[in-house]
Amino acid sequence: MPQTFDAIVIGAGVMGASIAFHLAERGLKVAILERKVTASGATGHSSGLVRMHYDLAAESELTFASYKNYFSNWKERVGGGTSSPLSASCGFMQTGFMQIAKREHEDKLRGNVANQQRIGINTSVISADDVKKLVPDFLTDQFDFAAYEPDSGYADATLTTNSFIEAAKRNGATLIQNCEVTAIHTSGGAVKGVSTTQGEFAAPIIVSAAGAWAKHVAKLADVEVPLVTWTHDVAFLHRPPSLGKIPAVIDDTINCYFRPEGSALILAAGEDESLRGEAPDAEDQTPTPTFVEKLIDALVQRIPKIEQSGLHSIHVGRDGITPDQRAIYSAAGPDGFYLACGLSGTGFKTSPAAGASLVELILRHGERQTNRQDDGSPKTVDITPFRFSRFAEGKLLEGEYGYGNIWK
C-alpha cells in the first residue's frame, strides 16, 4: 500500500521547501521527495541575493513580499519555536544593493524605480557621485546613475532551505531524501500519486519544484515544459585587505554581479557565457575555461583593488531557464499538478512569497479546506503573469521598462 499524503512536493531546494512550509502551515500532510539531499541542486549554488530591482513589476512584488514578510523577519515568521539557532536563521545580511545601469538605460532605470516605489519598496535613483560617496573604492566613470536599495543584501540559500524544511516538519511534513520520482500516476484526468526509488506515495496534489530536472518530471505527467537547463559559474575571490565596505551589485555596464561573502571573500559572476542545454545531472561540473579571466577583467573596471585579490574557489550551478527567463508558478496538465520551476537563476529571493502565493492558488483551485480558517484565495502576490499557459498563448513576459535578457 502506498503512503498517503495530502500533497507531494518534488524537490527540496529552496522553492520546494517554501511550498512545503506553506502547505504544512495550512494543515496539509506533506511529503517532500528529493532525489539527492536538501539544497543539492541550484539552491546550494545560489548567489543568494535579496534585492527588489526588476524590470517586471510582478517580480518586484514577489521579492518585496519575500523581503518584508520573511527575510527581514525570519526568526519570528519561519524559525520561531525552535531550539536550534541555525534552523531559525536564513543568514540575511543587510549590505544595501545597487543596480548600475548603462547610460542608454537611464529612462528605464527611472521607470523601474518609480514602479518599485509605488509598490512600497525603499529605493531611489542616485548619481554616480552618490555611488562614489557610498563606495569610495568604486570607479564610476562608466555610468551616470544607479538604483539604490539600502534595505537589501544577501542571505544563505542553504540555511534558508533548511529552516523552511525544519519548520515544515514541525507542522507534520515528512522529508524523504535520496528518493527519485520515476512515475506520476493519474486517473480520470487528475493526479493520484507517484512511484519512486523508495516506494509508492499517494496524494491529490503534486507540485514539481525540481529545478534542472523539472522538464523531465513534467513529462512524467505528460506535460511538455519549454525549459532547458542553464549552467552558471560563480567565483569566490579573496577580499583585498584595503577594500572598504561594498554592497551587493548588479552592474549592467560590465555584465557582472557581485557581493560580499562574509568578511573575507567576494562572490562574483558574469551575466554571459552561461551554458544551455546540458544534462540536468549536477555532478562533475567544470567552469567555462575563460570564466575567471573574463570576470577579473570586468571587475577591475569597477573595483581596481580586485587586482590585489586572488581566487578562492569556483562553483557551478544548474537550473532550468524558460524562453522569457521568468519563472512558472502555475497549474499544468492533469488536475492537481502544479509547476514551480523555470526559475532561471533568480528564484531564491522570490521563494518565500512565491511559495505562499502558489499554495494560495492550489488551495483556491481545489477548494481544500483542511484545518484552514480562510477561503484559500490569493493574498500574497498575484502570480497570474507566471502562468504556464503564457507560452502557448504567445504572451511571454517582458519588463515594463525592459533591460533585455538577464542572461546573455
CATH number at residue 253: 3.30.9.10
- Strands 49-50 and 153-154 come out as antiparallel
- Do 250 and 146 share a structural domain? yes
Together in a domain, 260 and 201: no
Pair 234, 359 in one domain: no
Among 290, 317, 344, where does a domain finish? 317
**Residue 123: per-residue pLDDT:** 98
Adjacent-strand bridge partners of 226: none
Tally of residues, the chain: 408
In one letter, which amino acid is 188? G
H helix and E strand count, the chain: 10, 22
Lookup: cell for 323: 524562453
pLDDT winner (highest mean) among 180-194, 263-277, 366-380: 180-194
- Per-residue pLDDT band for 275 (boundaries 50, 70, 90) equals confident
Cell numbers placing 190: 487528475
The answer to whether residues 190 and 205 belong to one domain is yes
As a whole number of angstroms, the distance between CA 186 and CA 190 comes to 5
Whether 227 and 322 have beta carbons less than 8 Å apart is answered as yes
Are 102 and 145 found together in one domain? yes
| Domain extent at residue 204 | 3-44+158-227+324-393
Instruction: Judge if 192 and 272 occupy the same domain.
Output: no
Give CA–CA dist 325/335, Å, rounded: 26
206 inside domain: yes
CATH of the domain at 333: 3.50.50.60
Quote the mean pLDDT of the chain.
93
Is 389 a member of any domain?
Answer: yes
C-alpha cell at 324: 522569457
Give the pLDDT band of residue 198 (cuts 50, 70, 90).
very high
Residue 369: per-residue pLDDT? 44
Residues 308 and 347 in one domain: no
Last residue of a domain, one of 317, 341, 371: 317
Total of domains in the chain: 2
Based on the domain organization, do 148 and 233 belong to the same domain? yes
Tell me whether residue 253 is exposed, middle or buried, using C-beta atoms within 10 angstroms of its C-beta: 0 to 12, 13 to 18, 19 or more: middle
Asked whether residue 376 carries a pLDDT value surpassing 90, the answer given is no
- Determine what percent of the chain is predicted with pLDDT higher than 70: 94
Whether 272 and 382 map to the same domain: the answer is no
282 close to 318: Cβ distance less than 8 angstroms: yes
Lowest mean pLDDT among 188-192, 262-266, 276-280, 349-353: 276-280
Distance CA 327, CA 354 (A): 10
What the block records as the C-alpha cell of 354 is 512565491
In the three-class reduction of DSSP (H, G, I as helix; E, B as strand; rest coil), residue 65 is classed as: helix
- Per residue in 115-158, pLDDT tens? 999 999 999 999 999 999 999 999 999 999 999 999 999 999 99
State the cell numbers at 336.
Answer: 492537481
According to the model, what pLDDT value does residue 370 have? 47
C-alpha cell at 251: 552592474
- pLDDT tens across 59-101, in order? 999 999 999 999 999 999 998 756 566 667 999 999 999 999 9
Q: Kindly tell me if the per-residue pLDDT of 390 is higher than 50.
A: yes
Residues 277 and 297 in one domain: yes
pLDDT-derived band at 372 (thresholds 50, 70, 90) equals very low
Residue type, 165: I
Residues 261, 293, single domain; the answer is: yes
Residue that finishes a domain, picked among 278, 293, 317: 317
